[in-house]
């Protein structure tokens, strides 16, 4: 099939081994290729040197507070849900120097860091994480202020997405409208199919860069039954989704329930560890740290991820403003599912399930919302005040 005949959205079929050529082509174009790999019993996103680095034949078992790798019978490359990491760490790094200053004879000189030109190619991005990148775009690119560092990395990133056929145990992307099928925001989307001994990839380009990549590797036009197999895979994944979060009326539900006693119950369990925030692919809160060297000639300011679960994070002049676990957990959840809409026009949750899996006491955002909903059936909010 020729390059010109690959239109955006056309589905073509490739042999799985073609993935190696795709990786090599991206690398030859100057991309740093990042994808899923196994490390210390977990699934991480890290530089890939070859196809052998992908977690072939491995899946995951997730539930509240639990993540385990699981050996699969099928030798597939993309048989996992999502690990604790997201692509956020590459576009919005956990730690970054924002400026440094050096004392000179007549004052001091401020130096801004160069906007680094790292070109990332992300391999194996799930639909929920694509949606999360779109949410962070709203925060860093589409508001009154833009982050030049995020912009530099984001604009260059090549995204090879995978349609999810193996939902993680804690996800609820279907009810958030963010998965399991990717619909936009990718350069190339793959669906991996294994039918008996027949193993193939159904691919579709979502951008000119994706079209060019497909054109460089052997492919065939997808047959109707192959396209149907791809559609069936994500439909089956959607049916297997174990959790739901009812989004209708979510904002006003939370605004009506600032004083719901459920906040006390969840606060009694919450450890304020901040895991839920750090693993969340949309959370963007950070702090700034200033340091000087011992001679007083060099000063630096660093931006570092922070979490709204600590009292320090709430510090304003004179002290912290959210001094209870109840108020801090309520802040986190209400921001994700209510005030985020006022700020950015979208929900701050894409249903990836990470905050449930990686919470050491298995607090479940879907369960908390459902409990608040049900409490209104028995005790209307006005009666609680």
Q: At what angle do helices 127-140 and 148-156 cross, to 10 degrees?
A: 140
For position 355 contacting ligand SF4 by CB under 6 A, the verdict is yes
Candidates 282, 305, 330, 369: give the one binding ligand SF4 (CB under 6 A). Answer: 282
* Contact (Cβ atoms closer than 8 angstroms) between residue 241 and residue 167: yes
Binding-site size, ligand SF4 (CB under 6 A): 25
**Residue 369, Cβ neighbours under 10 Å: how many?**
22
Candidates 270, 338, 369, 372: give the one binding ligand SF4 (CB under 6 A). Answer: 270
Distances (CA, A) of 222 to 15, 202, 211, 225: 12, 7, 15, 8
- Beta carbon of residue 156, minimum distance to ligand SF4 (angstroms, whole number): 24
Q: Which is nearer to ligand SF4, 360 or 380 (CB)?
A: 360
For position 276 contacting ligand SF4 by CB under 6 A, the verdict is yes
For position 365 contacting ligand SF4 by CB under 6 A, the verdict is yes
CB contact set of 297 (below 8 Å; sequence gap of 6+): 102, 103
Q: Which is nearer to ligand SF4, 181 or 357 (CB)?
A: 357
**Residue 15, Cβ neighbours under 10 Å: how many?**
14
Q: Which is nearer to ligand SF4, 309 or 326 (CB)?
A: 309
CB contact set of 279 (below 8 Å; sequence gap of 6+): 84, 85, 86, 354, 355, 357, 358
Stretch that binds ligand SF4, among 48-56, 210-218, 278-286, 373-381 (CB under 6 A): 278-286
Distances (CA, A) of 44 to 47, 56, 65, 123: 10, 14, 17, 12
Candidates 349, 368, 369, 372: give the one binding ligand SF4 (CB under 6 A). Answer: 349
Q: How many CA atoms lie within 13 A of 205 on its CB side?
A: 21
- Beta carbon of residue 254, minimum distance to ligand SF4 (angstroms, whole number): 13
Q: Which is nearer to ligand SF4, 8 or 271 (CB)?
A: 271
For position 250 contacting ligand SF4 by CB under 6 A, the verdict is no
Candidates 61, 271, 288, 321: give the one binding ligand SF4 (CB under 6 A). Answer: 271
Counted residue by residue, the chain has a size of 385
For position 275 contacting ligand SF4 by CB under 6 A, the verdict is yes
- Beta carbon of residue 132, minimum distance to ligand SF4 (angstroms, whole number): 6
Q: Could you give the strand order of the β-sheet that contains 220-221, starting from the edge strand earlier in sequence?
A: 42-47, 32-39, 120-125, 158-162, 188-195, 198-205, 11-14, 220-221
For position 354 contacting ligand SF4 by CB under 6 A, the verdict is yes
Candidates 8, 361, 374, 379: give the one binding ligand SF4 (CB under 6 A). Answer: 361
For position 338 contacting ligand SF4 by CB under 6 A, the verdict is no
| Terminal-residue alpha carbon distance, the chain | 68
For position 280 contacting ligand SF4 by CB under 6 A, the verdict is yes
- Beta carbon of residue 241, minimum distance to ligand SF4 (angstroms, whole number): 12
For position 61 contacting ligand SF4 by CB under 6 A, the verdict is no
**Bridge partners of residue 189, in order along the sequence:** 161, 204
* Contact (Cβ atoms closer than 8 angstroms) between residue 355 and residue 276: yes
Residues 351, 357: Cα–Cα separation, whole Å: 12
Q: Which is nearer to ligand SF4, 66 or 112 (CB)?
A: 66
Residues 123, 125: Cα–Cα separation, whole Å: 6
Stretch that binds ligand SF4, among 69-77, 218-226, 272-280, 316-324 (CB under 6 A): 272-280
- Beta carbon of residue 180, minimum distance to ligand SF4 (angstroms, whole number): 14
Distances (CA, A) of 71 to 30, 66, 84, 163: 34, 16, 18, 20
Residues 383, 22: Cα–Cα separation, whole Å: 61
Q: Token digits for 350?
A: 């894409």
- Beta carbon of residue 205, minimum distance to ligand SF4 (angstroms, whole number): 27
For position 125 contacting ligand SF4 by CB under 6 A, the verdict is no
- Beta carbon of residue 361, minimum distance to ligand SF4 (angstroms, whole number): 5
Stretch that binds ligand SF4, among 203-211, 221-229, 270-278, 286-294 (CB under 6 A): 270-278
Q: Which is nearer to ligand SF4, 190 or 355 (CB)?
A: 355
**Footprint on this chain of ligand SF4 (rule: CB under 6 A):** 270-276, 279-282, 309, 336, 349-355, 359-361, 363, 365
């Amino acid at each position: 099939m020729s390059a010109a005949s690959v239109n955006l959205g056309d589905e073509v079929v490739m042999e799985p081994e073609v993935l190696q050529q795709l990786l090599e082509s991206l690398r030859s174009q100057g991309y740093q290729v990042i994808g899923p790999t196994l490390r210390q019993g977990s699934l991480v996103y890290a530089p890939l040197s070859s196809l052998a680095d992908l977690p072939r034949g491995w899946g995951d078992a997730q539930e509240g507070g639990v993540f385990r790798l699981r050996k699969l019978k099928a030798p597939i490359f993309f048989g996992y849900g999502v690990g604790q990491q997201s692509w956020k760490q590459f576009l919005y790094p956990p730690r970054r120097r924002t400026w440094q200053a050096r004392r000179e004879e007549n004052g001091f000189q401020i130096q801004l860091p160069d906007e680094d030109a790292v070109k990332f190619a992300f391999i194996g991005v799930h639909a929920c994480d694509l949606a999360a990148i779109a949410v962070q775009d709203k925060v860093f690119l589409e508001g009154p202020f833009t982050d030049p560092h995020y912009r530099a990395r984001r604009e260059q990133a090549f995204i090879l997405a995978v349609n999810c056929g193996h939902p993680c145990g804690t996800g609820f992307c279907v009810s958030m409208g963010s998965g399991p099928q990717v619909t936009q925001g990718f350069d190339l989307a793959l669906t991996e199919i294994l039918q008996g001994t027949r193993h193939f990839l159904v691919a579709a380009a979502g951008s000119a860069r994706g079209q060019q990549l497909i054109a460089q590797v052997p492919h065939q036009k997808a047959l109707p039954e192959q396209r149907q197999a791809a559609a069936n895979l994500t439909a089956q994944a959607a049916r297997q989704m174990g959790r739901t979060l009812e989004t209708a009326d979510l904002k006003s539900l939370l605004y009506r329930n600032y004083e719901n006693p459920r906040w006390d119950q969840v606060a009694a369990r919450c450890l304020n560890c901040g895991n839920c925030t750090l693993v969340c692919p949309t959370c963007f809160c950070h702090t700034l740290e200033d340091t000087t060297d011992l001679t007083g000639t060099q000063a630096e300011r660093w931006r570092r991820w922070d979490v709204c679960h600590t009292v320090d994070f709430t510090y304003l002049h004179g002290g912290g403003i959210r001094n209870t676990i109840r108020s801090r957990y309520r802040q986190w959840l209400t921001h994700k599912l209510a005030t985020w809409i006022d700020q950015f026009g979208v929900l701050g949750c894409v249903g990836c399930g990470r905050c449930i899996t990686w919470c050491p006491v298995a607090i479940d955002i879907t369960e908390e919302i459902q409990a608040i909903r049900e409490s209104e059936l028995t005790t209307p909010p006005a009666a609680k005040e």
